[in-house]
């Protein structure tokens, strides 16, 4: 393998809190190991256009605590084509970039794997997604912050729900995975949680709400992942409200506030550890792998496993929501 002298770092796909911390770690770890480091703006789109910045230690000063990504991010349809990837590789070659660290989710890693397969450029991924849906890692960068954001919002919603004796359906992100919804439900004391991984039975949900009402609960919170099989929060609220009207029913969709905000201390540490590990892995000759965290230890997981295998839902947490409701 060609000796690595210069690496690129990029953020791709949906942003997540902690991406800046990971970029900072990659840049400073690379520099400390004698490498040149280039930041790639706007993900694969910027790679194709040669939108690069030479990074020094000061380039990444005062970004550790910031949400979003200072390198920007984008999704690129053109990169999905062979012609687009050829343009990207030409830019990497022109700028003497020997290897890449990609911070993103499954789509970003799919692109990295194809680029490696076609052109042999070494790539290591750091899992940056609030959904925590990549196989082979207990936590992804941004997940902890997103859960804390949801819990903070639900705590505030519960105050007004209690004051008005209302039933609130709170919709959170999770088109294909209900991990944000599930952990948030336990942490916020929700009466029920609806996620894509399980079948939702409206009559059973109504029984749960009715039981709480008969126990003299003056409010209730139902957390709904956007990908639930019965539809979003508005659809489910209509179905429940049509059969049970003892509570006034309201809906709150949290939306993109879950992506923003300062990363939690946990996410900053995870991102910093993963970025450092990514650089060392490239120097050790590793490629086509994601840095994961398992039982607080950093591991390398092949992209093929991280992308194609589905993370199982924690049944204990699911049961806990029901027990504690």
- Tokens 């694969």: give the residue: 44
Could you say which of 131, 133, 228, 267 is catalytic? 131
Structure tokens at 147: 């859960």
* Residue 76 and residue 84 in contact, taking contact as beta carbons nearer than 8 Å: yes
Structure tokens at 248: 């006034």
DSSP readout, 152-210?
Answer: HHHHHHHHHHHHHTEEEEEEES-SS--HHHHHHHHHHT-SEEE-TTS---HHHHHHHHH
DSSP readout, 4-37?
Answer: P-EEEEEE-SS--TTHHHHHHHHHHHHHHTT-EE
Burial 35-63 (b: 16+ CB within 10 A, else e): bbbbbbbbbbbbbbbebbeebeeebbeeb
Would you say how long the chain is, in residues? 325
* Residue 260 and residue 248 in contact, taking contact as beta carbons nearer than 8 Å: no
131 is catalytic: yes
Output the CA angle 292-294-296, nearest 5 degrees.
Answer: 105
Q: Give the sheet arrangement for strand 99-104, strand by strand.
A: 52-55, 36-40, 6-11, 99-104, 123-127, 289-294, 297-302
Angstrom CA distances, 139 to 91, 113, 271, 320, stand at 33, 21, 10, 20
Catalytic residues, by residue number, are: 131
């Amino acid at each position: 393998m060609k000796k690595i002298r210069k690496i690129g770092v990029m953020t791709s796909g949906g942003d997540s809190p902690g991406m800046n911390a990971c970029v900072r770690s990659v840049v400073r770890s690379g520099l400390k190991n004698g490498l040149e480091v280039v930041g790639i703006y706007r993900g694969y789109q910027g790679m194709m256009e040669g939108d690069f910045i030479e990074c020094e230690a000061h380039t990444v000063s005062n970004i550790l605590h910031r949400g979003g990504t200072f390198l920007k991010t984008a999704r690129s349809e053109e990169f999905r084509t062979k012609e687009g990837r050829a343009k990207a590789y030409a830019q990497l070659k022109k700028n003497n970039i020997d290897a890449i660290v990609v911070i993103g989710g499954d789509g970003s890693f799919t692109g990295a794997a194809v680029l490696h397969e076609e052109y042999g450029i070494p790539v290591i991924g750091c899992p940056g997604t609030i959904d925590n849906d990549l196989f082979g890692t207990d936590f992804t960068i941004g997940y902890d912050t997103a859960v804390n954001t949801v819990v903070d919002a639900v705590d505030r919603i519960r105050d007004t729900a209690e004051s008005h004796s209302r039933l609130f359906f709170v919709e959170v992100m999770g088109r294909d995975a209900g991990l944000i919804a599930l952990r948030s439900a336990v942490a916020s004391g929700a009466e029920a949680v609806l996620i894509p991984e399980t079948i939702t039975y409206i009559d059973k949900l109504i029984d749960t709400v009715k039981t709480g009402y008969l126990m003299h609960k003056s409010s209730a919170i139902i957390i709904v992942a956007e990908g639930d099989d019965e539809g979003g929060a508005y659809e489910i609220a209509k179905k429940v409200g049509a059969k049970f009207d003892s509570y006034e029913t309201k809906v709150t969709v949290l939306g993109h506030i879950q992506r923003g905000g300062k990363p939690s201390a946990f996410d900053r540490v995870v991102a910093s550890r993963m970025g450092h590990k990514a650089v060392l892995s490239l120097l050790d000759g590793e490629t086509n792998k994601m840095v994961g965290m398992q039982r607080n230890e950093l591991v390398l997981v092949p992209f093929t496993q991280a992308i194609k295998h589905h993370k199982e839902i924690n049944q204990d947490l699911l049961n806990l929501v029901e027990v504690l409701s």
